[in-house]
Structures are given as structure tokens and as C-alpha cells.
Amino acid sequence: MSRSKARIRSRSSPRSLTLNPSGKNSDEPTDEDMGNFSYLCQCIGFVVVHWTLTEQQLDNWVNVCANNAGGKLFLEGKGVPQALKRKATFIKRCLRELPDLSAFRDECAGLLSRMLSASNRRHDLIHGAITELKPDPVSGAFKFRRIGYVGDDHTLTEFTVTPNDFRVFAPVLTDLVTDSIAFSQKLGDKFLGPLE
């Protein structure tokens, strides 16, 4: 994925479509363009489904840490963490400070590291907006733009995603889901008892 980043200083005017005399847009998408767009949507759907499965496991870990391993005090009256970074911070603290979780520290820390690493690409794909329906004819790359936040400013990140980027990211997500579910099972076996 190639990236460029800039601060947004002023509001830009939206692009308008120029119509030809017949009233049809000269850049009207072809069947091939629509097929490429459909493929892009399938890839992003794959990311959404796999990320949801992964983050549900993270919620399971938070639940076990808070309610079964003694970590409820670490919630500090702020309620159950909902954002990814807050969940990871809470779980890391529980791993560090709760003796009942000592056998799980290394494996869980590794999974959290993998999740946080994958989250950057996931955030780009989910929160980024496609800027052109047609991919680059040579690389197959789609162009995206994502608005972010730094202090009081918005930032603008532009990046491209190629079919190969998805091919590389897919097994990262698949492995993460598989390993996260297996870890949830281990936690559940210790703290909740085996499933019957």
C-alpha cells in the first residue's frame, strides 16, 4: 500500500461530473469496472467479517479478565473498554498484574501485538473512502482517501490498495481469527470451565 499524508487546511469543493451532449457521462463505468468494484467490495467485506470475529475474541478476553481473573478494579469506573486500544491496554495491565493470567502472558501479548499491527490496515480500508471507481489499468490499484485526527487538526491520508495487498492481508486476518479463537478457548477452559 502506498501512502501520502497531509494536513487539511481548507475545505475543497467537490468535483462535478461533466456530461457530454448526449447527456451521458463520458466516464460511465464499464462492466469490467463494475466487476473490479464488486471484487473490491468483496475484499473489504472479507476484512470486515474477519475483524469482527477477531474483535469479539478481544471482548471475550476483556470479560474474562474483568469478571473471572480479578481485573474488575482496573476498569476504574470507566466501564468496559470499547475501543481497540483501550481493550488492549486493559488486557495488558491484567496480564502484568494478575497472577492467575501469568500462564497466558506471552501468547496473549503476541496476539495483541498482531491485532494492533493489523488494525492500521483495517482502519484504512474501513474508514477510507474510495476516490475513483476505476482501478489503475496497470497495477489494479484503487485509490483511497482517509480523514484522520491529530490534536485539533484533521489529516488527510491518500493511499492505494492493489489486489496483491489483499492477497497478503487475507492470511494475516485468517490466522489472527484462528489463533484468537483458540486463545479464547484456552481462557474459557481455565476460567469458565470446558464447553460440554
Q: Which long-range contacts (CB under 8 A, 24 or more apart) does 80-85 make?
A: 84/55, 84/58, 84/115, 84/116, 84/119, 85/116
Mean pLDDT to the nearest integer, 16-37: 63
Q: What contacts 71, CB < 8 A, 6 or more positions away?
A: 65, 90, 93, 94, 97, 98
- Taking only the tens place, the pLDDT of each residue in 137-181 is 899 999 999 998 899 999 999 999 999 999 999 999 999 999 999
The residues with which 25 forms a beta bridge, in sequence order, are 19
Q: Are 90 and 81 in contact (CB under 8 A)?
A: yes
Query: What pLDDT does 193 receive?
Result: 81
Q: What contacts 74, CB < 8 A, 6 or more positions away?
A: 65, 66, 90, 93, 94, 97
Q: What contacts 48, CB < 8 A, 6 or more positions away?
A: 126
- Taking only the tens place, the pLDDT of each residue in 55-108 is 999 999 999 999 999 999 999 999 999 999 999 999 999 999 999 999 999 999
The amino acid present at 168, given as its one-letter code, is V
Query: What pLDDT does 9 receive?
Result: 47
Query: What pLDDT does 25 receive?
Result: 53
The residues with which 156 forms a beta bridge, in sequence order, are 6, 147
Q: What contacts 130, CB < 8 A, 6 or more positions away?
A: 40, 142, 143, 144
Helices then strands, counting H and E runs in the chain, come out as 4, 4
pLDDT at 24 over 70: no
DSSP 133: S
Give 34's pLDDT tier (boundaries 50, 70, 90).
confident
Residues 45, 56: Cα–Cα separation, whole Å? 17
Mean pLDDT to the nearest integer, 28-40: 86
Choice among 7-21, 33-47, 62-76, 91-105 with the minimum mean pLDDT = 7-21
Nearest to 95 by CA among 67, 70, 60, 114: 70
Q: Are 57 and 183 in contact (CB under 8 A)?
A: yes
